[in-house]
Structure 1
Amino acid sequence: MVFDISVNCPLFGKYRFEFLSALCANIIAIAHGAGIAWLSPTLLLLQSEDTPLASGALDVNEASWLGSLLCVGGFAGNLGFGFIANRWGRKRALSLIAFPQMCFWIIVTFANDIRFLYAGRVLAGMTGGGCFVTIPLYISDIASKEIRGSLGSILMLAVNCGVLVGYSVGSYLPYTVVPKVTIIFPVVYLCLILFFPETPQFLLLKNNLDGAKASLCFYRNIDPKSSTREVVQRIEKEIDEMRSAMGNTPTKEASFKDFASKDALKGMLRGVGLVGVNIFSGIFLIVNYNATIFKAAGINIAPNDATLIVAVSQIAGTYLSTLIVERFRRKTLLILTTATAGLALTIMGTSTYLSQFYDMSGLSWLPVASLSFMVFAASSGYIPLTFVVMNEVIPRPVRPLVSSVCNAVLNTFAFASLKLLPMLIEYAGLHVVVWICAAMCFLGVLFNAICIPETRGKLI
């Protein structure tokens, strides 16, 4: 059999520019992942006597604020960049989200007081909030339905690659060198994203039919000047399908009646449920306080080394999700991976609890193994699928703003998680927090089974 590169390699086939666009858009997600993970290895330094801050070593309360303020910025980024994407375009919103991230790394370079780092974390969160609103929206606008799930899964793969970068440079490079390395990502991203056109859906919303056709030709890797009649008809058909999905009123702004409709409210509630399971399953807590959690679990290997093991599990799981998301039902993947994550957390919580009363030195590997397996399961299913499915269950006319609201709720949940759970670990024990997260996973299984419809392959 002859290998046809145009079929077997997405970068050389008809989906070429869709993949390239998605990859370039997700460079900023790598930068955001590095910004999230920066805290885990750095926090141990900031809480020690060797802290680089003139304001002194951080206590538990200051550390929890440093973690949770990322979500305050995320809340602002969700609403702000969601509004920009809806009013002035996906491309403009994508371009602007690079600037808060660059400012964050500049602040880290020169900050000598915890208050500057607080401000920097808010800015880093703004980029993250923008990423989780604008990138899924951009992908859902440009992607063919055959690869929409795979392209949507790249977001969390990119974030997790960034997490590995953040853990690695934060663990093994000097504190002042880290921001000089990681600032490269938002700079490169900004230079690349400017070359891609606005999405065809947004141009249709602005009644720019010719621009929408030209944009669709670009993303479908079609030369409009040398296209056959059949190709032209295919473009016309897809444009008509987009207009039909918009209700044949592309220039009409979404009204309060649209937001109050049964479909919009159901989509919002489903989105809130998805992000609730996502956050309270503990995955965001693990990413931010990875080294601290392993230190509390009393493992025998260096906490920063354990964080790298978990980061590799994240990447492996998320890469797997890009391969299976279009092969299996979305709903099935959500249920199976949420249940698996809950089981792994139950095992970790139980082993941590028993270690208080029995000698568990022979099983010191169990917390690392169970947590890594939980992260792998979550990253291969419900974590990336949260953002894919959320954009698929929200009606198109209200999708940008409702998606922003759901992501703002996500950041509210994440703020509560990062602010309260570290103190709960301190006063009630790690096992209590892990069991709470396991219970949320099992509740998530019921929610996904009852409330989430199947969306794979459907026109959105």
Structure 2
Amino acid sequence: MLTAKLPLLGKRHRMQVLVALTYHIMNFAHGLGIGWVSPTVQIIQSPETPLSFPVTVEQVSWIGSLFGFGFLSGNILFGLTANRLSRKLNMYLLALPNMLFWILNYFVQNVEYLYAGRFFAGVTSGGLFVIAPIFFSEILDKDVRGTLMSMGMMFLSCGVLIGFILPTKVDYYLTPCIGLALPIIYVVVFCFFPETPQSLLRSGRFTEAETAFNFYKGIDNGVNVQLSRRVEESKTATEVQSEFEFPFSDPCATSLLKKSTKAKMVRKQGLTIFSKRYRMQILVTLAAHIMTLSHGIGLGWLSPTLLILQSPRSPLEFKVAVEDVSWIGSIFGLGSLSSNIFFGLLAARIARKTNMYLLAIPHMLFWILNYFAQSVEYFYASRFFAGLTSGGLYVIGPVFISEISAKEIRGALTSLAMMFYSCGILIGFILPSYLDYHLIPCIVIFLSIIYFAVLSLFPDTPGSLLERGQLEEAEKAFNFYNNIDRKGTVRELCVNELQTSTAMSAFEELKASKLKGGKATSITLQDFFNKSALKKFAIAFVLCLQNQFSSSFAFVNYMSHIFAESGSTLNPQDCTIFVGVVQILCTLLASILVEKFGRKTLMLASTAGMALGMFGFGAFVQFTDDATKAEYNWVPLVAVAFVTATASFGVISLTFTIIVEILPAKIRAQAQSIAMMFCSIMVFITLKLYPYFLFNLGISITMYSCASSCVFTGVYLLIFLPETKGKSMAND
């Protein structure tokens, strides 16, 4: 049934969903205030300021930083009131500092009003992160808790986006009036919901606590829960009631009572990416993708920054010529090639986790060199280090994630890399428009530090430990990533016996494969030059050719230039940001579709879409005059967005997933390094030639050439590319 697959749609969760959406009004309102500040600060510093006093750069820095003081104060304040006041009263109090933020911005008389407003915005933020998770944990069922709580960031992001837009469309004094209405609506609607059961129990109000529990669980006290409803909602009435009767009971005991019912449900529904068995796999993947996000920021940052450095408003003391731009772009490929060799040699010699740590070093050097840039040679060196990071990510990252993830979700987890990469690129596109050149490296370098700290919390991959003969540690790591305890039973937060059996058989298969083809059997040249291996190398090389010669990566580096050269009168930086949003959405789409339609189908559809979009874009530029280009100035934006969208759900997001899946298991690490070395050479060639094609031969020839590459490689892949969906990583 639909409600079995989507628990949010079940009647039992209706009130939980409603109260979550009500709370997210506050998240949206807070996001609106955060987003509103950025463009508003620019407006009040300009000659068109609506305020009666000037705002200096120093004051802007205080406006920004006081948010942090407010956040800290909000953490302390709501930390003290969390157990002293009722949960619902604390939730009401969240609206107060948000309302004060808007009131102070409306009646502003001097910069101190803005300071106070940002402080109260920080208090709201601190409270949201303290009280809301506690409130939600006490009213939400575990099968919908993650979904409803994670929606908070979606509402916050929507608010930020609206905050970015409003100052450019409405009067300064109208936005606070709109923003003030939201917390008022939040308080009014929240009145209709009861206190949390746990909060009422602590106050000794047992009857009210049971009433509140029944309200949030969708239970009618006067009607017995029918069998059909129990099947639909995946729990029996006894189980639901036991949650109220023993709200602080041992979760292990509760797990044993529910084991039989859960086993039936898992057999019926199967495993999905949201299964609790995969929780640790998802967490470590997200931790690894912090580096992917940070690397994407560096790549996206380059495109608008190059335009700024070539303009009269350059923040640096030296000029950057077109020839310099060409080398800045192409030297990335040399760094990537060096990294492929470096990490290829290290892949089988040191632990996977150590290799993952090493990725942070060249990335930090990239930002340090950009901060202290004294000449164009600093940019050459920094881009080389960016290439080192990129090469390592594409050699070690897919191998690391494939070794910790189950085959049912491997495609989704590996393709997530491109979503984080795209998010980073979008952030990189935006930052140079709003922040000082020297501030950006100071912010982004902290992501590497966070990445290093978070990754240290997770063990090495089972495959890596088996290769080094650490069988006991390998089994512990496997159990950790599959949420299995040492006795072979599933943790109460994970799954049932069926999932345990499946997971343990996968480990035995992996162990047998590693003992047969790992250290016990040496790697020889014959492993690389047999017919099967050569065929797989050929497919990997064609995928690399397609990935680069289709211009999927060059688009990112020269997107602002593409819009500037297309004849469109739209702002190139605005167009670049829009395309960045499109790329994020479509890489997310790839993560959703990859396990449904398979790799090959998405890859071929992506290739065909790119070819069609680039042929159309080239034809528009070639066969229209200046008047037509001015009248239809939106066509280049639509064309580039279409090409980026189709590239994102296949060529960008799946290329490296497919490569790591098709390569022979025995030599996978070495073969992955060879494939990425070839890809790096293609990166260098593409980035070196692309400016020549773009500025000398024109957009039309550039688009036709890249589209033709898509056609030729697409035909090859149609014939020779196998489907790798569900393929075991332990066998060829």
TM superposition score category, shorter chain reference: over 0.9
Query: How far has the Cα of 1:180 moved from its partner?
Result: 1.2
1:201-230 alpha-carbon deviations (Å, 9 max, x no partner): 111112221111111001101122472787
Q: Does 1:45 align with 2:316?
A: no
Mapped partners of 2:522, 2:444: distance in 1: 39
Contact 1:46 1:58 in 2 (8 A): yes
Query: How far has the Cα of 1:172 moved from its partner?
Result: 2.0
Q: Does 1:76 align with 2:345?
A: no
Relative to 1, partners in 2 of residues 1:66 and 1:356: Cα closer, same or farther, differing over 3 Å?
A: farther
Q: Does 1:239 align with 2:502?
A: no
Q: Does 1:422 align with 2:723?
A: no
Could you tell me which amino acid in structure 2 is paired with residue 237 of structure 1?
S
Equivalent residue for 2:377, pick from 91, 98, 115: 115
Instruction: Tell me whether 274-283 or 217-226 shows the greater mean CA deviation.
Output: 217-226
Equivalent residue for 1:351, pick from 613, 620, 628: 620
Counterpart for residue 278 of structure 2: 15
SS in 2 for 1:222: coil
1:99-248 to structure 2, matched below 5 A, reads: 99-225=361-487, 227=489, 234-246=502-514, 248=516
Contact 2:466 2:514 in 1 (8 A): no
Could you tell me which amino acid in structure 2 is paired with residue 116 of structure 1?
Y
Query: How far has the Cα of 1:357 moved from its partner?
Result: 6.6
Could you tell me which amino acid in structure 2 is paired with residue 43 of structure 1?
L
Mapped partners of 2:432, 2:395: distance in 1: 27
Relative to 1, partners in 2 of residues 1:231 and 1:379: Cα closer, same or farther, differing over 3 Å?
A: closer
Q: Does 1:27 align with 2:290?
A: yes
Equivalent residue for 1:397, pick from 644, 663, 666: 666
Mapped partners of 2:426, 2:396: distance in 1: 23
Could you tell me which amino acid in structure 1 is paired with residue 672 of structure 2?
S
Could you tell me which amino acid in structure 1 is paired with residue 290 of structure 2?
I
Equivalent residue for 1:93, pick from 355, 367, 386: 355
Query: How far has the Cα of 1:382 moved from its partner?
Result: 2.2
SS in 1 for 2:517: coil
SS in 2 for 1:196: coil
Counterpart for residue 581 of structure 2: 312
Mapped partners of 1:383, 1:324: distance in 2: 14
Mapped partners of 2:582, 2:304: distance in 1: 17
Contact 2:552 2:651 in 1 (8 A): no
Counterpart for residue 182 of structure 2: none
CA RMSD of aligned residues (A): 1.9
Mapped partners of 2:517, 2:672: distance in 1: 20
Query: How far has the Cα of 1:337 moved from its partner?
Result: 1.2
Relative to 1, partners in 2 of residues 1:276 and 1:201: Cα closer, same or farther, differing over 3 Å?
A: same
SS in 1 for 2:597: coil
Contact 1:60 1:423 in 2 (8 A): no
Q: Does 1:256 align with 2:518?
A: no
Q: Does 1:289 align with 2:558?
A: yes
Relative to 1, partners in 2 of residues 1:300 and 1:116: Cα closer, same or farther, differing over 3 Å?
A: same
Instruction: Tell me whether 244-253 or 447-456 shows the greater mean CA deviation.
Output: 244-253
Mapped partners of 2:607, 2:563: distance in 1: 22
Structure of higher CA gyration radius:
2
Contact 1:85 1:92 in 2 (8 A): no
SS in 1 for 2:277: coil
Could you tell me which amino acid in structure 1 is paired with residue 323 of structure 2?
N
Counterpart for residue 459 of structure 1: 728
1:47-66 to structure 2, matched below 5 A, reads: 47-54=310-317, 56-66=318-328
Q: Does 1:367 align with 2:636?
A: yes
Contact 1:264 1:398 in 2 (8 A): no
Contact 1:348 1:367 in 2 (8 A): yes
Instruction: Tell me whether 354-363 or 165-174 shows the greater mean CA deviation.
Output: 354-363
Contact 2:347 2:670 in 1 (8 A): no
Identity level (%): 34
Counterpart for residue 609 of structure 2: 340
Query: How far has the Cα of 1:197 moved from its partner?
Result: 0.9
Q: Does 1:280 align with 2:522?
A: no
1:47-87 alpha-carbon deviations (Å, 9 max, x no partner): 12333333x32221110101111111111112212322221
Contact 1:11 1:17 in 2 (8 A): no
Relative to 1, partners in 2 of residues 1:232 and 1:303: Cα closer, same or farther, differing over 3 Å?
A: closer
Mapped partners of 2:562, 2:499: distance in 1: 56
Mapped partners of 1:198, 1:141: distance in 2: 10
Mapped partners of 2:334, 2:143: distance in 1: 45
Mapped partners of 2:442, 2:485: distance in 1: 41
Structure 2 gaps of 5+ residues are: 8-140, 148-272, 491-496
Mapped partners of 2:294, 2:345: distance in 1: 22
Query: How far has the Cα of 1:190 moved from its partner?
Result: 0.9
1:330-355 alpha-carbon deviations (Å, 9 max, x no partner): 11111111101110111111111123
Could you tell me which amino acid in structure 2 is paired with residue 79 of structure 1?
I
Relative to 1, partners in 2 of residues 1:245 and 1:358: Cα closer, same or farther, differing over 3 Å?
A: farther
Query: How far has the Cα of 1:234 moved from its partner?
Result: 4.6
Query: How far has the Cα of 1:99 moved from its partner?
Result: 0.9
Contact 1:14 1:220 in 2 (8 A): yes
Could you tell me which amino acid in structure 1 is paired with residue 377 of structure 2?
R
Query: How far has the Cα of 1:231 moved from its partner?
Result: 7.1
Mapped partners of 1:111, 1:32: distance in 2: 19
Equivalent residue for 2:678, pick from 389, 409, 425: 409
Contact 1:28 1:186 in 2 (8 A): yes
Instruction: Tell me whether 135-144 or 165-174 shows the greater mean CA deviation.
Output: 165-174
Contact 1:200 1:216 in 2 (8 A): yes
**Larger relative contact order (C-alpha < 8 A, sep ≥ 6)?**
1
SS in 1 for 2:453: helix
Mapped partners of 1:6, 1:202: distance in 2: 33
Contact 2:568 2:629 in 1 (8 A): no
Instruction: Tell me whether 2-11 or 393-402 shows the greater mean CA deviation.
Output: 2-11
Could you tell me which amino acid in structure 1 is paired with residue 291 of structure 2?
I
Relative to 1, partners in 2 of residues 1:208 and 1:247: Cα closer, same or farther, differing over 3 Å?
A: closer
Relative to 1, partners in 2 of residues 1:423 and 1:196: Cα closer, same or farther, differing over 3 Å?
A: same
SS in 2 for 1:301: coil
Structure 1 gaps of 5+ residues are: none
Contact 1:345 1:374 in 2 (8 A): yes
Contact 1:49 1:57 in 2 (8 A): no
Mapped partners of 1:284, 1:231: distance in 2: 40
Scaled by the length of structure 2, the TM-score of the pair is 0.61
Equivalent residue for 2:534, pick from 244, 253, 265: 265
Scaled by the length of structure 1, the TM-score of the pair is 0.95
Q: Does 1:330 align with 2:599?
A: yes
